[in-house]
Amino acid sequence: MAWTSNRICQTLGIALPIVQAPMAGSDSPDMTAAVSEAGGLGSLACAMLSPEHVEEAAAYIRSKTKNPINLNFFCHNPPKADAGRDTRWREEISAYFAEFGIAPDAQSAVANRAPFDDALCAVVEAVRPHVVSFHFGLPEAGLLDRVKSTGAIVMSSATTVAEAVWLEQNGCDIVIAQGAEAGGHRGMFLSDDIATQAGTLALVPQIVDAVDVPVIASGGIGDARGIAAAFMLGADGVQLGTAYLKCPEARLNPLHARALPSARDDNTALTNVFTGRPARGIMNRLMRDLGPMSDIAPDFPTAGKALAPLRVRAESQGRDDFTNLWAGQAAHLSPSFPAGELTHILMAQARARLKSF
Amino acid sequence: MAWTSNRICQTLGIALPIVQAPMAGSDSPDMTAAVSEAGGLGSLACAMLSPEHVEEAAAYIRSKTKNPINLNFFCHNPPKADAGRDTRWREEISAYFAEFGIAPDAQSAVANRAPFDDALCAVVEAVRPHVVSFHFGLPEAGLLDRVKSTGAIVMSSATTVAEAVWLEQNGCDIVIAQGAEAGGHRGMFLSDDIATQAGTLALVPQIVDAVDVPVIASGGIGDARGIAAAFMLGADGVQLGTAYLKCPEARLNPLHARALPSARDDNTALTNVFTGRPARGIMNRLMRDLGPMSDIAPDFPTAGKALAPLRVRAESQGRDDFTNLWAGQAAHLSPSFPAGELTHILMAQARARLKSF
């Protein structure tokens, strides 16, 4: 089967059915452009960017490639103010403040993680990207209608069959099946129970059976073997995140970049201590001490705000004790190449593997 | 590629590189015989059988097929007596005893889960099965040497790369890579941290890269798509458990059989409340109330002994609140056929799928 007859390639107008996962705080316009120019779908995570930044970044990407690109947004419900919970969380981490000689009431600037709203939607209407993807469900119907009116293909992540069915019923054009192996934030939005989250191998075929829209497999895909496996499972395409973290185009926190080569099959975990939502990262001190899952961590994304002064101080000392080191369970498998080359190599190897039997 | 050139088929002398997973309390000699006769590797879990029973069952299987069979044993360290812990566990479950009108000191017979020992080793020496597999590591060197002296191929489960390397270094001939999706007990023996257990898609290629011995993929493989995917990941063979639970040859607790069709991608979890060791089953009352993971559950397998009167009483009322309902995350995918037919069908479909690209 040639990729040209692939449903994802046809729907998105791309040459290779591979999506570079949006990674808030770690991807870059150069990465997006390189992947799209190589024939895959480059994504730019916009959750931590201002509307002006998104517009600027999109213009830059467009100057580098005329191929389809994906702008990605979070669509979580903004956290409810809960002073009691915030106080309890500050108490939970107060010993660290003392240890690092930081005043208990210290504050540090923290990158916002804003949900998709009118201002960001206006940017989408101006930029008109070929694809818009969401994490944590879909935005409210009014905003979604505006996005779809631009002609954009809409994608979102499902961590269960129920979420996939919900996404399809609510207007999502392509479902990304996100297995538990995936690095970064789980896209879960109908459940918050990580104990019942399924691995990619089990999840993908069950989602494929449950929806009519194309399905992209993600989570634990680190090399061509994982890509080939995803197609055997019935996926129409693949999304890789951690693999692209090793590209020179990644804009990684230096401590994150330093930690990445240490990622193994058995040293990442889902944790909510950095942001309040479950996300997979390399085990470090904060995860070991307070989690990896904590009942006390306040709602996304406020857990991170309280940690910010601690993180800044520790990082200035070269310590990643309080830094989120997002990585998936297959991080160790991925080779390091420029993003465009990586896209070509992985898909060529996967194709050869698929034809080898 | 024909199965005849497959490493697992060559090593084990079987026609199809598929292993029916041993399932203590749910498999049966008829199942073992049917799978082996069909060309796969039928397994019989011996952990809950007396040496006499094992010998008898093996003789029965041998009367049905001349093909290779696998006898499987647990090799956990026997639990340390810990009266304080036992008391705390009994307190934890005492309210249920009151609810069901059971005396707090009631006892019920419970099937033993014995580790591999001299008596069971003597049975292996008498029966001389083609394959002996272990769960929870390997037995002590003296016993392992005796098993290998019979000419048996030795297999064991690894849930991490570190465990796979340990197994190879300690004389294991074939490693079963058990992803987190798998139903029943995790084979983990170098770590007890379920937070860092990897899914099959991420685990298999990393184990394949780390060891020279053949690797069998297990966990979350429910149909031909999962089987084909496992080969793409680099596995030499596959092991399926839950899929065989739907066969008429399964000797399932009737409440387990009743619950099985309700298994979905998102309603199983790893739990230690039934036995003291993490195992995946369909969520039920005990798991929801006390776990799914409990710090209080005593060492394997003693947690189950205290629960036994409760389980017996509830089951007599048709309630599975305290019954372990082992199932993997792909349970929903598996069709129901007699074990031999299932073996043929799955492997024929997988072969067709592998050749379809």
Q: How does pLDDT run along chain B (357 residues), one tens digit per residue?
A: 689 899 999 999 999 999 999 999 999 999 999 999 999 999 999 999 999 999 999 999 999 999 999 999 999 988 888 999 999 999 999 999 999 999 988 888 877 788 999 999 999 999 999 999 999 999 999 999 999 999 999 999 999 999 999 999 999 999 999 999 999 999 999 999 999 999 999 999 999 999 999 999 999 999 999 999 999 999 999 999 999 999 999 999 999 999 999 999 999 999 999 999 999 999 999 999 999 999 999 999 888 899 999 999 999 999 999 999 999 999 999 999 999 999 999 999 999 999 998
Closest chain A residue to the Cα of B355, Cα to Cα: A357
Q: Please report the pLDDT score of residue A95 as a whole number.
A: 96
Distance in Å, alpha carbon of A129 to nearest chain B alpha carbon: 32
Beta strand segments in chain B, E? 18-20, 42-45, 69-74, 131-135, 153-158, 174-178, 184-185, 215-218, 237-240, 268-271, 279-282
Of chain B residues 255-294, which have a CB less than 8 A from chain A?
A: 264-270, 283, 292-293
Q: Is A274 helix (H, G, I), strand (E, B) or coil?
A: coil
- Contact at 8 Å (CB) between B239 and B133? no
Largest Cα span, chain A:
63
B117 exposed, middle or buried (CB, 10 Å; 0-12, 13-18, 19+)?
A: middle
Interchain CB distance below 8 Å, A199 and B197: no
Q: Which residues of chain A have a CB within 8 Å of the CB of B229?
A: 201, 229-230, 232-233
> Model confidence at A282, in pLDDT bands (50, 70, 90)?
very high
Strand partners, B132: B71, B154
- Phi/psi for B63 (5° steps) reads -75, -20
Distance in Å, alpha carbon of A128 to nearest chain B alpha carbon: 35
**Worst-scoring range by mean pLDDT, A52-56, A144-148, B64-68, B75-79?**
B75-79
Residue B28, both tokens? 């049966």
DSSP letter at B263 equals -
Interchain CB distance below 8 Å, A230 and B226: no
Interchain CB distance below 8 Å, A226 and B205: yes
Interchain CB distance below 8 Å, A219 and B231: no
Residue B185, both tokens? 């007990």
Domain A3-78+112-260+330-354 has CATH 3.20.20.70: yes
Strand partners, A178: A218
Cis ω before B248 (30° cut-off from 0) = no
Distance in Å, alpha carbon of B199 to nearest chain A alpha carbon: 5
The backbone region for A63, taken as left when phi is positive above 0, alpha when psi lies in -120 to 50, beta otherwise, is alpha
Instruction: Report the alpha-carbon distance of residue A2 to residue A257 in Å, rounded.
Output: 36
- Residue of B232, B268, B270, B273 to mutate, testing the A interface (most A Cβ within 10 Å of its Cβ): B232
Asked if residue A302 has pLDDT above 90, the reply is no
- Contact at 8 Å (CB) between B39 and B17? no
Q: Please report the pLDDT score of residue A352 as a whole number.
A: 97
Q: Which of B5, B11, B7 is nearest to B153 (CA)?
A: B11
Q: What is the pLDDT of residues A10-34, one digit of tens each?
A: 999 999 999 999 999 999 999 999 9
Interchain CB distance below 8 Å, A330 and B201: yes
The CATH number corresponding to B3-354 among 3.40.50.2300, 3.40.50.300, 3.20.20.70, 3.30.70.3280 equals 3.20.20.70
Residue B187, both tokens? 């084979």
Single-letter code of the amino acid located at B5: S
Q: A268-271 and A237-240: which strand pairing?
A: unpaired
Q: Please report the pLDDT score of residue B114 as a whole number.
A: 84
- Residue of B201, B238, B295, B325 to mutate, testing the A interface (most A Cβ within 10 Å of its Cβ): B201
Interchain CB distance below 8 Å, B195 and A269: yes
Dihedral sign (CA B228, B250, B22, B93): positive
Within 13 Å, how many C-alpha atoms sit on residue B58's CB side? Answer: 25
Interchain CB distance below 8 Å, B200 and A203: no
- Contact at 8 Å (CB) between A20 and A31? yes
Q: Is B22 on the interface with A (CB under 8 A)?
A: no
Q: Which residues of chain B have a CB within 8 Å of the CB of A205?
A: 222-223, 225-226, 330, 333
pTM over 0.95: yes
Interchain CB distance below 8 Å, A270 and B195: yes
Q: Is B203 on the interface with A (CB under 8 A)?
A: yes
Distance in Å, alpha carbon of A324 to nearest chain B alpha carbon: 16
Interchain CB distance below 8 Å, B225 and A232: yes
Q: Which of B206, B232, B328 has the CB atom closest to A229's CB atom?
A: B232
Please tell me whether the interface predicted TM-score (ipTM) of this complex is above 0.90.
yes
Closest chain A residue to the Cα of B207, Cα to Cα: A265
Task: Give the DSSP H/E element, type plus range, for residue A185.
Answer: strand A184-185
> Model confidence at A111, in pLDDT bands (50, 70, 90)?
confident
Of chain B residues 221-260, which have a CB less than 8 A from chain A?
A: 221-223, 225-226, 228-234
Q: Is A220 on the interface with B (CB under 8 A)?
A: yes
Distance in Å, alpha carbon of A352 to nearest chain B alpha carbon: 10
Across the range A264-282, mean pLDDT stands at 97
Across the range A328-356, mean pLDDT stands at 97
- DSSP secondary structure, A88-151, as one string: HHHHHTHHHHHHTT--TT--------PBP-HHHHHHHHHH--SEEEEESS---HHHHHHHHHTT
